[in-house]
Structure 1
């Protein structure tokens, strides 16, 4: 996970991460942050960059999740900020990327 970055306006990556926790993967029933779908959150000047993935390239809910991510982030961005959300496939998602809380919820403790 990326270190917390703060823009000159005080907007930071934790605020982005908190907003992303509102997006639920409907097939899993858990937020996409704990599921491990968010690979990178960066703030560069007045731009917020997010790299995310899906549990598989064939995810039937992928488009809906991507649209939800864009919507919640646009709602939380300060005026004048740009948003760049990229769907990436490397590294491939695996349950190892889930938060400890998510792995425990599904009984996938290491």
Structure 2
């Protein structure tokens, strides 16, 4: 993501498992514009525990029509990347507000939002 804004989904301890799963999520594209959910800033948190992972996403709008698809795609990607016996939970935080500042600098520039 952006060097100027720390990625809220990656802790400063640089946990290798969390980094690996974030790399997996970088390959999950928003179905409407085809950009990475990580680069779009839709990943609010990724909590990796000893036997599971919980991902919280932020919708780009309060009426995000693709929320179910985003959740399903992210969950599928995580399930494929995690051990079979891990619990995988993906949720949408409808109370959080997404802004273009959450996007990576490179994506904002490419989309003309910088």
Query: What is the TM-score normalised by the length of structure 2?
Result: 0.82
Q: Provide the secondary structure at the position in 2 that maps to 1:19.
A: helix
Residue 15 of structure 1 and its aligned partner are, at CA, apart by: 1.3
CA contact (8 A) 2:31 2:69 kept: no
Q: Which residue of 1 aligns with 2:75?
A: 70
Corresponding position of 2:107: 102
**Partner of residue 45 from structure 1, selected from 34, 44, 50:** 50
Work out whether residues 40 and 102 of structure 2, in 8 Å CA contact, stay in contact via their aligned partners in 1. yes
| Paired positions, count | 104
Higher strand residue share: 1
SS in 1 for 2:89: strand
Aligned to 1:54: 59
- How large is the RMSD of aligned CA atoms in angstroms? 1.4
